Structure 1
């Protein structure tokens, strides 16, 4: 009896341990399944990373190839830029030589240049008075060698730098003041004034030598409320000529 009870106790203990082992084994199997699942997930993730790594490596190679092409193009453009700089330097040198030659040619030709003009005011009688100062248009060109006088605008334009001489005569036949300005560009140089206190024809004249640069303008201007007179007999005349170039 005692022996059977002892055996039964050992049997139950063994069975308990067996169940514990079975439970532990089941737990290990569960953990193993989880581990295997995680391993599969890692393998899948690694496969994705490998694909992405391969794609990035391909992109890197493409970028290296593209950069190589850009470096070649950059080198070519830098070479072209240097060539253009050299070419522009040559053009600048040639342009300076051309400018110097042109300047020398102008100086040479200016020594032979002939400039002279005379123009009458009008055939229409009285000019003015006006409410404001006005440039006088000496419309009857008598002489215009060198074509420096513009009879439409009433201005003389210096064709070369030089010393010029200008003169004028202005007339009227009514009592009162008559006169005019001589301008160099926009600066008045002479103001000629005459009082006709007797009626009948009277005139005023003047002349001046002016140093002009090429493009300078000389003109005569009638002040506001003043008047002049001219007809086919040329009472009012504007003249000028080049003395010598400078």
Structure 2
């Protein structure tokens, strides 16, 4: 985001967090904000009107009132006014911010229920399953198929197997990708979770599944090394043979056997 949008996001975030702190129905708020993003994305006229930096904030607040009063909750309307009245560098910045607030409302609901860690794990694993299955990836990415049909496919795969919040975000990523690939949408959702929870995320690849104790020890070690809290997502890849590879931020710590064999081969070739 450019400067004006960064300032707008910071200002509107204060309104959003205030609504969350007041004890709003987070699931309903998320549903309503996702719906409004869909309305904005579907109307070039509306996008221009709400993001027009030359229009006074009061006028855009009135626009929000006219369009959405009685159609969304009072709390959602407060958030919309908080977003619409700011000055944005681009229309996309405004809608992206609204989407992020919807995602964060889902994560906040998972936090209250003590399911936030599980949500992150499940969403990450589902993205990996989709990435590894070309047929499933094609079915979920087929924009020629009705969005509801793609969403129903996600529900049939995940219902009663994941948290309600995971299902909401997985369906949303498929039903309304907003021009992005599925993996990019999920990546954005997980980044939103990490930011909200003030933690870093590490992706750990190993030849065999890690136990809960293994994950806890890795998380503690990485937290000591990088500071703060670290959430560990795991990938099982038999090709690494042994050891682990850790990706955190822009850094890669590769202690796998296959890497050591490759290094030995290169040394012998030299």
TM over 0.5: no
Name the TM tier (shorter chain). under 0.3
Q: Which is richer in strand?
A: 1
Q: Which is richer in helix?
A: 2
Larger Rg: 1
Query: Could you tell me the TM-score, scaled by structure 2's length?
Result: 0.15
* Larger RCO, structure (CA 8 Å, separation 6 or more): 1
